[in-house]
Structure 1
Amino acid sequence: MSEKIVIEKLIQQKLTSIAPVVVMMCGVAGSGKTTFALKLEKEGFARLSIDEDIWATHGRFGVDYPQQNYEFLKEESEIKLRGELVNRIQANHHVVIDFSFWQRQRRSDYKQLIEQHGGVWELIHLKVQPAELRQRLLIRSERFDANAAFPVTEDTLTRFLIGFEPPSGEGETVIEA
Structure 2
Amino acid sequence: MAHVTLLCGPACAGKTTIARELEAAGALVLSYDREAWARGVRDGKPPRELVEQIDADFLRRLEGAVLADRDVVLDASLSTRAVRDRWRMRCGAMGLDPDLVVVRAPLETLLERLREREPGPESVVLDPDELRAYVAGFEWPGPGERHRVVETA
Whether the TM-score (by the shorter chain) exceeds 0.5 is: yes
Q: Deviations over 1:122-172 (max 9, x none)?
A: 1100111111100011111xx242122x32112211221122111122111
Whichever of the two has the greater Rg, that structure is 1
- Cα distance, 1:119 vs structure 2: 2.1
CA distance in 1, matches of 2:114, 2:82: 27
* Aligned pair partner of 1:53 in 35, 41, 56: 35
Counterpart residue identity of residue 7, structure 2: M
The aligned residue for residue 72 of structure 2 is: 95
The residue type paired with residue 152 of structure 1 is L
* Structure 1 residue 125 corresponds to structure 2 residue 102: yes
CA spacing shift, 1:156–1:171, aligned 2, 3 Å = same
Give the letter for the 1:93 counterpart.
Answer: R
Give 1:83's aligned residue: 60
Which structure shows the higher helix fraction? 1
CA contact (8 A) 1:101 1:107 kept: yes
Distance 1:72 1:29 in 2: 21
Q: TM-score, normalised by structure 1?
A: 0.78
Q: Which runs of 5+ in 2 are unaligned?
A: none
Q: TM-score normalized by structure 2?
A: 0.89
Conservation of the 8 A alpha-carbon contact between 1:90 and 1:118: no
Could you say what the CA RMSD is over the residues aligned between the two structures, in angstroms? 1.8
| Identical pairs, percent | 30
Q: After superposition, where does 1:30-69 map in structure 2 within 5 Å?
A: 30-58=12-40, 60-61=42-43
Q: 1:164 aligns with which of 138, 142, 146?
A: 138
Aligned-partner SS, 1:24: strand
- For 1:172 and 1:84, how far apart are their aligned partners in 2? 24
Change (3 A) 1:33 1:113: same
Give, in whole Å, the separation in 2 of the partners of 1:151 and 1:39.
Answer: 22
Q: 1:79 to 1:155 in 2, by over 3 A?
A: farther
Q: Number of paired residues?
A: 151
Contact residue 31 and residue 133 of structure 1 kept, 8 A: yes
Note the residue ranges of structure 1 that are not aligned, 5 or more in a row. 1-18
In the alignment, is residue 137 of structure 1 matched against residue 111 of structure 2? no
DSSP-derived class of the 1:58 partner: coil
| Structure 2 partner of 1:27 | 9
